[in-house]
Amino acid sequence: MQDFKFHNPTDIRFGRNHIDAELHDAVAQFGNNVLFVYGGQSIKKSGLYDRVKGLLADLNIVELGGVEPNPKLASVQEGQRLAKEHDIDVILAVGGGSVVDASKVIGSAKFYEGDPWDLVIKANGADRNVLPQVPIVDILTLSATGTEMNFGSVITNPETHEKYGTQGPNSPAVSFLDPELTETVPARQTAAGSIDIFSHLTEQYFDRDDANDASKGMIEGLMRAVIKWAPVAIADPTNYDARANLMWTATMALNGLVGAANEGGWTVHALEHELSAYYDITHGIGLGILTPRWMDWVLEDKSTVALFARFARNVWALSGDDDAQLARDAVQKTYDWIASLGAEMTLPEVGIKDDTYFEAMAANAVDHGKLIKRGYVPVTPADAQRIYRDSL
């Protein structure tokens, strides 16, 4: 096992009965000037917008709506302007991962004089980890990213076709996780979120440290939970146990716990972020297309068979003595599960009809994701292009 530090102070309020009783004080403990950040129409349709405004009626609320999926730099720039102009004390993010991610970077940008894109790509000496950050309180409405209990954000600059992750100094101060708020998430978005959860788990399961049984065991349990409950949530959107299991699995999958002591890993996310950067597709859908193709490619390296056979036995409940066959069957099971959620399974189905940008995307993914140095199996630009082509 590798050395690690693990520190995660996010205050989690999980379940149905926290928001009305606790939201006001959770926000007001940081001050009166609140930047209320949200996405499109979903929180207005569900009534959550009015509920929040009612609960915080005595505070100074400044609003930043319209944060889009794959949150764009323009929203962060506008948030920076508002945070400075109104001397914001606390950001209340209400929505999915895109809203929370944008809010975290706005929280840093209040204390930065230049363009917030510098903070994302660490240009012009900008470093979020030496800046203060406005505290974030969030009400999560979609189970997927784990942003509600981690230090990461992913921001897109559509002008340059760049989508990059950035780590801040703090995870959210308080996260309200009420599974009932996810009951209005449409089926395709529920599928995408569940695939994202599953991908966070595979990215950390398939790492180079083969002695880390503590993490692998936790991941196997979380994988079985998302495999079991995603189809239930899609068939029966108001099933509380399904929504609750997906929500807590999402949080636990990417709060730093199950990746502690790992060595390397994380390939498919770097490949997917290029798809979203060039084509603005839904993150989880892109992961669902790429993951089985990446697995097929990885399995050509025979040193991976033993771990895939363990994945087959402990996650997919397959049995047998032939590890190579079990490994292949596990990849097929993965493909079939993703397809069963109704997700698109090829790039043309999401509008990526040819290989026009594959060379540039592959080069960037390998470079930015450090896939030669850090990948579970090292990925060269030629390998990355092959995985994209196999997904056509």
Report the interface residues with ligand NZQ, using CB under 6 A.
39-43, 69-70, 95-99, 101, 141-142, 144-147, 150, 152-154, 181-182, 184-185, 189, 193, 196, 254, 269, 283
Question: Which of 227, 281 has the CB closer to ligand NZQ?
Answer: 281
Question: Which of 45, 353 has the CB closer to ligand NZQ?
Answer: 45
Output the CA torsion 94→95→101→107 (10° steps).
Answer: -10
Question: Which of 185, 330 has the CB closer to ligand NZQ?
Answer: 185
| Assigned token pair, 177 | 């996780």
Q: How far is the CB of 98 from ligand NZQ (least distance, A)?
A: 3
Separation CA 193–CA 286 (nearest Å) = 11
Question: Which of 59, 281 has the CB closer to ligand NZQ?
Answer: 281
| Assigned token pair, 109 | 């940008």
C-alpha torsion sign, points 145, 385, 117, 170: positive
Query: What count of other Cβ atoms lies within 10 Å of the Cβ of residue 186?
Result: 11
Q: How far is the CB of 87 from ligand NZQ (least distance, A)?
A: 26
Question: Which of 148, 196 has the CB closer to Zn ion?
Answer: 196
Q: How far is the CB of 196 from Zn ion (least distance, A)?
A: 4
Answer yes or no: are the C-beta atoms of 64 and 82 closer than 8 Å: yes
96 binds, among ligand NZQ, Zn ion, none (CB under 5 to 8 A by kind): ligand NZQ
Separation CA 185–CA 165 (nearest Å) = 25
42 binds, among Zn ion, ligand NZQ, none (CB under 5 to 8 A by kind): ligand NZQ
Answer yes or no: are the C-beta atoms of 34 and 88 closer than 8 Å: yes
CA separation (Å) from 2 to 92, 184, 199, 209? 36, 41, 22, 8
Token look-up 């800046």 returns 131
User: What is the Cα Rg of the chain in Å?
Assistant: 20
Question: Which of 97, 265 has the CB closer to ligand NZQ?
Answer: 97
Q: Which stretch binds Zn ion (CB under 5 A): 74-82, 163-171, 189-197, 377-385?
A: 189-197
- Give residue 136's Cα distance to chain centre: 17
| Assigned token pair, 78 | 């506008």
377 binds, among Zn ion, ligand NZQ, none (CB under 5 to 8 A by kind): none
If binding is defined by CB under 5 A, does position 207 make contact with Zn ion?
no
Q: Which stretch binds Zn ion (CB under 5 A): 58-66, 176-184, 192-200, 355-363?
A: 192-200
Instruction: State which of residues 89, 101, 183, 196 lies at the interface with Zn ion (CB under 5 A).
Output: 196
Token look-up 């530090």 returns 5
Answer yes or no: are the C-beta atoms of 223 and 201 closer than 8 Å: yes
153 binds, among ligand NZQ, Zn ion, none (CB under 5 to 8 A by kind): ligand NZQ
189 binds, among ligand NZQ, Zn ion, none (CB under 5 to 8 A by kind): ligand NZQ
Q: Which residues sit at the interface with Zn ion, rule CB under 5 A?
A: 196
